[in-house]
Amino acid sequence: MTTMSPNALCFGDEFPAAGAPCLVQVEEHGLTITFASDPADGQPESVPYSSLAVSAGGLDHDQLVVKWAGEKGERTLYLKNPDVIRAFRETVPSHLSLPFAQAAEQVRQVRHRRRLVWSLAGGMILSTVLGLWFGSDILVEIAVSRIPVEWEQKLGESAYRDFLSHQEVMKEGPAVAALGEMTQRMTAQILDNPYKFEVTVVKSDVVNAFALPGGYVVVFTGLMKKAESGEEVAGVLSHELNHVLQRHGLERIVKSLGIMTVAAIVFGNQQGLVGMMKQLGVELFTLKFGREQETEADLKGLQLLQRAKIDPAGMITFFERLSEKDEGRMEWLSTHPMNAARADRLKAELAALPKKSPEPFTFDWKQVQVSLGSQPVVAP
């Protein structure tokens, strides 16, 4: 045998401490061990089964340890090659089968215990995270109710100023006046309003509008060009105002902060907390409101329109129209998924509300749109 590939390590007094690599062959009468180190007197050593003792050992208790008293002192063999172990197990005589089974049982127990510990630890982490994510609504509400409005305004304002500094803001004109009138009519109907709403028109073809915590609302001219009446814009505005009134943005922030804190505790990343605070500013713009929050803003928005004597049908028609058309990119829809169920719910809600005769706006919507540089919208 010129080239042999060892499959086990043999330990004994005359061997190095790292063990002597050797080739173990399983035969009928016992084990034959050929050492790699001395091919000159490479007489294979035969050990009968009767003199062997087996157990489990090694770092993870996953190796088969075979011991016997050799001519030159005690020998210990560490086997981990599955083929050899299987062959050994199949030919093993009856007196060894019990210790063999015990060794196998030991390996199983170690693995089982390890799996158990890990699944317990994993389960605890998972349930903490899940608990915070799903079962935390009450905690979040308590936390949010304890945050003063001033804080909320500061938080929203810094993000708002930062956003506007990169945008072309429309300071005056019919569009600004029209939005001002809508805001005024609606806010007059909000009881105990702690917010001073600030609505800004930003020149951009993006069909979108968003609200930041603290009462900062941005409406893009793209959305105003798309709307066929002032009532439709008022519908979107009412929806956004109610995100602010219900403190939805704050709820999301508190929730994601909670998750981040748990993550930071679990993974021990202290740097992450700092980066997280910085990212929060960016986060405000990408905040996706949860489904429940959207529904709440829809329904409350509808009621607000009703109280302000603005025709609530505009809200529904605008939503429907946006969802039907797939021309262009409807940014507002990407964060406000529109579906039939949502429109139907609004219609049902509208039917349940007491009928009020709407009062028209003082501005002419077509003129507002012309002032934005848009051709009067032709119905498709």
Partner 1 sequence: MKSEILYPGAFPMVRVELEAGENIKAESGAMVACSPTIDIESKMEGGFLGALSRKFLTGEKFFFQTLRATRGPGEALLAPTVPGEIVILELDGVNDYMVQKDGFLAGAEGIVIENKMQGLSRGLLGGEGFFILNISGKGMLVLNSFGAIHKIELKPNQEYIVDNSHLVAWSSTTSYNIEKATSGWVASFTSGEGFVCRFRGPGLVFIQSRNPGSFGAWIRQFIPVSE
Q: Which residues lie near partner 1 (CB under 8 A)?
A: 5-9, 11, 13, 16-19, 21, 36, 57-61, 63, 67, 74, 76, 78, 80, 114, 117-118, 121
Tell me the C-alpha distance between 87 and 162, whole Å.
Answer: 72
Residue 18 Cβ vs partner 1, minimum distance, rounded to whole Å: 5
Tell me the C-alpha distance between 314 and 305, whole Å.
Answer: 10
Residue 119 Cβ vs partner 1, minimum distance, rounded to whole Å: 11
Residue 358 Cβ vs partner 1, minimum distance, rounded to whole Å: 59
Q: CB-wise, 120 or 142, nearer to partner 1? A: 120
Q: CB-wise, 25 or 193, nearer to partner 1? A: 25
Residue 54 Cβ vs partner 1, minimum distance, rounded to whole Å: 14
Q: CB-wise, 256 or 269, nearer to partner 1? A: 269
Q: Where are the beta strands (DSSP E) in 122-173?
A: 169-170
The amino acid sitting at 17 is: A
Tell me the C-alpha distance between 89 and 380, whole Å.
Answer: 81
Contacts from 80-88 at CB under 8 Å and sequence distance 24+? Answer: 80/8, 81/7, 81/8, 84/7, 84/8, 84/24, 84/26, 87/26, 88/26, 88/31, 88/64
Q: CB-wise, 22 or 310, nearer to partner 1? A: 22
Q: CB-wise, 5 or 165, nearer to partner 1? A: 5
Instruction: Identify which of 318, 312, 314 has the alpha carbon closest to the alpha carbon of residue 352.
Output: 312
Q: CB-wise, 188 or 273, nearer to partner 1? A: 273
> Most distant CA pair in the chain: distance in Å?
111
Using an 8 Å Cβ cutoff, are 238 and 301 in contact? yes
Q: How far is CA 296 from CA 103, 244, 301, in A?
A: 62, 11, 8
Residue 224 Cβ vs partner 1, minimum distance, rounded to whole Å: 46
Using an 8 Å Cβ cutoff, are 110 and 61 in contact? yes
Instruction: Name the packing angle between helices 248-267 and 137-146 (round to 10°).
Output: 110
Residue 16 Cβ vs partner 1, minimum distance, rounded to whole Å: 8
Q: CB-wise, 8 or 244, nearer to partner 1? A: 8
Residue 27 Cβ vs partner 1, minimum distance, rounded to whole Å: 20
Q: CB-wise, 84 or 234, nearer to partner 1? A: 84
Q: Beta strands 198-202 and 216-220: pairing type?
A: parallel
Residue 4 Cβ vs partner 1, minimum distance, rounded to whole Å: 11
